[in-house]
Amino acid sequence: MNILIKRTLSLLLAGTLLLSGCAANCDTPPPAADRTEATGETGQPAGMPQEEMTTMDTTEHVIYLAGGCFWGIEYLMQSIPGVLDATSGYANGTGEADADYRTVCTGTTGFRETVRVTYDPDQVSLDALLLAYFYVIDPTVENRQGNDRGTQYQTGVYYTNEAARETVERIAAIERGRSEKFMVEIGPLVNFYPAEEYHQDYLEKNPGGYCHIPRDEIALFSQLRIDPGDYRKPAAETIRDKLTAEQYRVTQQSGTESPFLNEFWDKFEKGIYVDVVTGEPLFSSTDKFESGCGWPAFTKPIEAPAVVELPDDSYGIHRTEVRSRAGDSHLGHVFTDDPESPNGVRYCINSASLRFVPYAKMEAEGYGYLLSLFEE
């Protein structure tokens, strides 16, 4: 009986640690031998005025991402082709003396659990990394993500050079417009110290370990072909000049076109549908079906992260709005109870938000990398 009780208690404890998150280990300091000395990236305390902030990280293609428990963000970034290295550590805190897990867990250091990401821009853009980050975090909460609570779990994106700053601020502006609250810190890196060795590659070493990011979402980013960095949102005046009045009303003012009186509602030619603003590929004719709703209907996007789904309670109706990832164009709404849909899902999309690229012209227009969508 005693053995059974011990085994039961062990299982309960293991389950608690698995579900409770990174912070579960805060009360259990690692052996002294496991502590890693800080290695070089130094700076000033977080309270110093921005113009005096400095960092010794001169790597050109690097970004620092705080997104809750660093185990999950590290694992996500490692899954993305083109990421060269992802290192867990502590950023923008009081200084090297406090950059250890036990001290950071006290919540008094200002440090954020952060992942230093270096990448090859010929394989993946900074836009893609940032939009992957925003896809998996909750930007509306402060000092928490998933099961973890504490100032060390505050979200943030920290840059080290002007080129990265421009990209970070551009993407942050898009994401800020998608939320009523935006709690993500955006600013320069002050300092960074690598975390203890046992934190590095944690989920590779412990495949069943806690991760606040769903594993199926991480898997999505290991297979993506569409890089949003190739389809950047133009300036506001360019958009206005480029679009028709109806396209502008729909995409920029969240309008809705008339059913049955739009260009693509009954079109089933072979090809892809791209964002009329940026050209980013969104939907394929292989996933289009006749729904009878009067608008183009699709069972799914070409790649799930290519669209952003947001709650929409306008007109007293609870719906889920669909917007494009890179261009932030209003596309339409998604419904999950359509009896005419092969999978029950209907992405009901405004024709005015789309441009159709016929299969025969995909190669010439730069979409040849998606021709495999039509292979049987």
Positions marked active-site: 69, 348
Rounded to a whole number, what is the largest CA-CA distance in the chain?
A: 78
Distance CA 227, CA 129 (A): 9
In the block, tokens 């070089």 appear at 40
CA Rg value for the chain: 23
Q: How distant is the alpha carbon of residue 37 from its chain centre?
A: 31
Nearest to 161 by CA among 58, 309, 68: 58
Nearest to 153 by CA among 204, 216, 107: 107
* DSSP-derived secondary structure for 119-180: E-TTT--HHHHHHHHHHHS-TT-SSEETTEESGGG--EEEESSHHHHHHHHHHHHHHHTT-S
Q: Which helix (H) or strand (E) holds 5?
A: helix 2-20
Could you tell me the two tokens for 322?
A: 């669909």
Could you tell me the two tokens for 251?
A: 């995409």
Pairing type for strands 330-335 and 319-324 reads: antiparallel
Q: Which helix (H) or strand (E) holds 238?
A: helix 236-242
Distance CA 302, CA 225 (A): 10
Angstrom distances, CA of residue 228 to CA of 27, 171, 225, 324:
41, 11, 10, 10
Could you tell me the two tokens for 367?
A: 């979409």
Distance CA 202, CA 86 (A): 11
Cβ–Cβ < 8 Å for 114, 155 = no
Nearest to 80 by CA among 22, 32, 39, 133: 133
Pairing type for strands 271-275 and 112-119 reads: unpaired
